[in-house]
Structure 1
Amino acid sequence: MRVLMLSWEYPPVVVGGLGRHVHALARQLAAQGNEVVVLCRQPFGTDAETHPTTDQTADGVRLVRVAEDPPHLSFEQDLVAWTLGIGHAMTRAGLRLLADWRPDVVHAHDWLVTHAAVALAEFADAPLIATVHATEAGRYNGWLSHPLNQQIHSVEWWLANSADSLITCSAAMRDEAATLFDIDPGTVTVLHNGIEPRRWRVRPADIEEARRRYAPDGKPFLLFFGRLEWEKGVHDLLAALPRIRRSHPGTRVVVAGKGTGSDWLVEQARKHRVLRSVEFVGHLTDRELAATLSAADAVVLPSRYEPFGIVALEAAAAGAPLVASTAGGLGEVVLNGVTGLSFPPGDVDGLAASVRAVLDGPAAAKRRAKAAKARLTSDFDWAKIAAGTAEVYAAARRGPARVLGRPKIASGNAFGRH
């Protein structure tokens, strides 16, 4: 099949897990004989002079990287305007592409490419497939209190209701999308994220170096890695650390990643009097991350909101013992007592107890880590996920044009919570 995929990130332009998802899916679809074109963008803060639009092929995938237009629009300060701008640039590049090439399907990844995806699918008269990777209401625990939240939610609703087929990465995300976007959950296909375990093989010398760096005294160290945002729950790990250190003196936490919450998290560590026991290391290269994962006594993923949790797969691929909340897709990825230990989101006592259980029972933790790694090839293989995606493509049909009004915005909590 001829597939036109749109994504606002694609390696090396990566913000979170979405970029890695699209990269792996596109390559696997191409390897399975499909003709895949990915319409994506150049890095933040660039323009057509510094980073002109390119059209190249890599790993069997044709990549059209779109230059940003001249206006001074910042992703951080002008999110909706920036999205409209990059959508306009993608639409123009897509129309040039469609002058002599027609896709069988158009596949949009998340709300930031909605404007271009809707326009190009309509122009090509091709079915529109949409993957919902997360929702604005979910990120804010059901609250759409500010104009920006409401604007993003309305674009997500537009994409979901314009799509001829909808995909989510977990059953939890399917139910969330159905509730928020007035969609029948029976029409949504659940296809998990995947992992390439070979990428996470680590040399023993690198693991030893990571242990020397983060645990020079031989005491336990815990690792969190991901975006430093409230929804990732790192503050709950910091709150639990004093309790963990009472039973396991000297335990340290390594926080790897960047985000808008970095300064706040430093204050949280100071508030809980554990700042000297927490090391904020920023972004780690893939090699550094793999070694640190393999060296950690436990990887802790305390998310308050998590559509899927690809970080749990990466930890499993590195053979790390897992402690994770049951938020969203994490509850499907980490099977409590089988492939890791789980606790309810926001439960600081439960988090501390789970970490203590790992540190008290290293043999059992190792068995769970082995089970998690073994599950990767059966449940999270990219070749199977790509084949499932191709089945969605083959079954999709372009529906009649729909006239959509503006969605209603919940005046209270969108999930009915208090």
Structure 2
Amino acid sequence: MLSWEFPPKRVGGISAALEGLAPAVSLTGLTVHVITAGDAGGAACEYVSPTLTINRVLVADPYNDFFDWIQKLNEAMYEPAAQILRSARAAQEAVVLHVHDWLTMFIGLRLKNEFGVRLVTTIHATEYGRNQGIQSDVQHKIHAWECELIAASDALIVCSESMRTEITSHHGAHWNRIRVIPNGINPADIAVTFTEDERSEFRNRFASPNQHLVFFIGRMVGEKGAHLLVEAIGRLHPSLPVKLVIAGGGAREHLENRARGLGIWDSVYFTGRISDEDRAGLYAVADVAVYPSLYEPFGIVALEAMAAGVPVVVSDSGGFAEVVEHDVSGTTTYAGDVNSLAWGIDRVLRDRSRAMRLAEHAKSVVSTKFSWPLIANNTVEVYRNEDV
């Protein structure tokens, strides 16, 4: 598996997906090697188990920009990857390369061509989707790389039907070469057990006892919709006291300024990046988790909230519509519509019996439909099936 991010490096959804997928695939009887960037720490060669090894490489300074860094990362990945392939060839073992997005396509294509191995690619998101089109030179460059990778891959995996439609419509992918396999979650990763006193103490760090705690976690980029959430909180009736907790990295000055402009500064808490422990704790004490994305290939944050038993309000964008079923496992609102979003939040906070009933059903959906063993078995089927 070739990825530019893997824990402890966490930037987007790829890291979270591979954190679950790699060990799950290694439990199917396959030996898994993850090769990734080591700039965020972690052992250079981490032997997780007899069938799972993480290789982390460093990029040599200097580099000019992000694209130069990516090229050098791919170059640094070559030797450990080639060594694994040489050993496998000597042992007459079959090897599959699994590339995750365009960021490791260069090493993936090089190894495919040099060693003649099968290349499976997971497209987690696209430049077209993030920007609702291709306008700038940088976007054209990334889009062209994505198209090249898709064309050269022997099989493609996407995490939702909406992503399958996206890459067939805008990247020239053939429908029958694409397998839809959702991301998963291990509920134990976000489980936390509080005594009543511990729960109150933790919750009081973020909200007062009389406030409903509305939780959002994600990157501070436009596609995730945090700006819409701030607007929606400003439209809730004053009789519904809330504290919006926004967690995640990225530039947030525009969000802070808007909260001040709406007169709700005291009702919003920007935490910045948080630890895994605080993330689990916030799911445990939140009254609702809200994700109003404008573009969402899958939406693993919704799975996290569902697994934790928190009522969810999501937009109907992309993969969210496939993860959350409206009025069955959560509340779905219209993407980009602040009034719809405010309605969804208000509805969940005022009708708690209904909200908790949906949340309880959502937990059962996660355990049956989004379990890592199921997802790993489906992924291995793609590895082995050359007709996919």
Report whether the alignment pairs 1:223 with 2:210.
Answer: no
Report whether the alignment pairs 1:152 with 2:139.
Answer: no
Report the Cα offset of residue 189 of structure 1: 0.2
What secondary structure sits across from 1:134 in the alignment? coil
Corresponding residue number in structure 2 for 1:98: 85
Corresponding residue number in structure 1 for 2:234: 242
Contact 1:245 / 1:251 at 8 angstroms: preserved in 2? no
Contact 2:216 / 2:291 at 8 angstroms: preserved in 1? yes
Q: How many residues align?
A: 381
Amino acid at match of 2:327: G
Contact 2:85 / 2:95 at 8 angstroms: preserved in 1? no
Distance 2:19 2:217 in 1: 20
Corresponding residue number in structure 2 for 1:82: 69
Report whether the alignment pairs 1:9 with 2:5.
Answer: yes
Cα distance change, pair 36–397 in 1 and its aligned pair in 2 (3 A): farther
Structure-to-structure mapping, 1:187-206, within 5 angstroms: 187-205=177-195, 206=198
Distance 1:81 1:285 in 2: 30
Report whether the alignment pairs 1:347 with 2:334.
Answer: no
Corresponding residue number in structure 2 for 1:362: 352
Cα distance change, pair 272–130 in 1 and its aligned pair in 2 (3 A): same
Listed as ranges, the gaps of 5+ residues in structure 1 are 399-418
Amino acid at match of 1:80: F
Contact 1:321 / 1:358 at 8 angstroms: preserved in 2? yes
Distance 1:85 1:397 in 2: 34
Root-mean-square deviation (Å): 1.7
Report whether the alignment pairs 1:31 with 2:13.
Answer: no
Distance 1:201 1:307 in 2: 25
Amino acid at match of 1:12: P
Report the Cα offset of residue 397 of structure 1: 6.8
Contact 2:88 / 2:95 at 8 angstroms: preserved in 1? no
What is the CA deviation profile of residues 359-389 of structure 1, one whole-angstrom value per residue up to 9, with x for unaligned ones?
A: 1100110011101111111110100000000
Distance 2:28 2:97 in 1: 18
Structure-to-structure mapping, 1:15-164, within 5 angstroms: 15-43=11-39, 54-59=44-49, 60-73=51-64, 78-102=65-89, 103-142=94-133, 144-164=134-154
Superposition misfits of 4+ residues, deviation over 6 angstroms: none
Corresponding residue number in structure 1 for 2:199: 207
Listed as ranges, the gaps of 5+ residues in structure 2 are none
Amino acid at match of 1:225: I
What is the CA deviation profile of residues 89-138 of structure 1, one whole-angstrom value per residue up to 9, with x for unaligned ones?
A: 11233223333234521110111000001111222211110000000111
What is the CA deviation profile of residues 228-279 of structure 1, one whole-angstrom value per residue up to 9, with x for unaligned ones?
A: 111000100111112114341x2121101112x3122212222322222110
What secondary structure sits across from 2:339 in the alignment? helix
Distance 1:234 1:341 in 2: 17
Structure-to-structure mapping, 1:168-317, within 5 angstroms: 168-205=158-195, 206-248=198-240, 250-259=241-250, 261-317=251-307
Amino acid at match of 1:128: L
Distance 1:97 1:198 in 2: 32
Report the Cα offset of residue 23 of structure 1: 2.1
Report the Cα offset of residue 14 of structure 1: 1.6
Q: TM-score, normalised by structure 1?
A: 0.87
Corresponding residue number in structure 2 for 1:376: 366
Of residues 285-294 and 128-137 in structure 1, the stretch that sits farther from structure 2 once superposed is 285-294
Of residues 293-302 and 198-207 in structure 1, the stretch that sits farther from structure 2 once superposed is 198-207
Distance 2:142 2:186 in 1: 32
Distance 1:209 1:161 in 2: 54
Distance 2:12 2:163 in 1: 17
Contact 1:105 / 1:121 at 8 angstroms: preserved in 2? no
Amino acid at match of 2:351: G
What secondary structure sits across from 1:241 in the alignment? helix
What secondary structure sits across from 1:6 in the alignment? coil
What secondary structure sits across from 2:204 in the alignment? helix
Amino acid at match of 1:193: N
Distance 1:104 1:125 in 2: 10
Amino acid at match of 1:9: E
Distance 1:251 1:316 in 2: 21
Q: TM-score, normalised by structure 2?
A: 0.94
Amino acid at match of 2:227: H
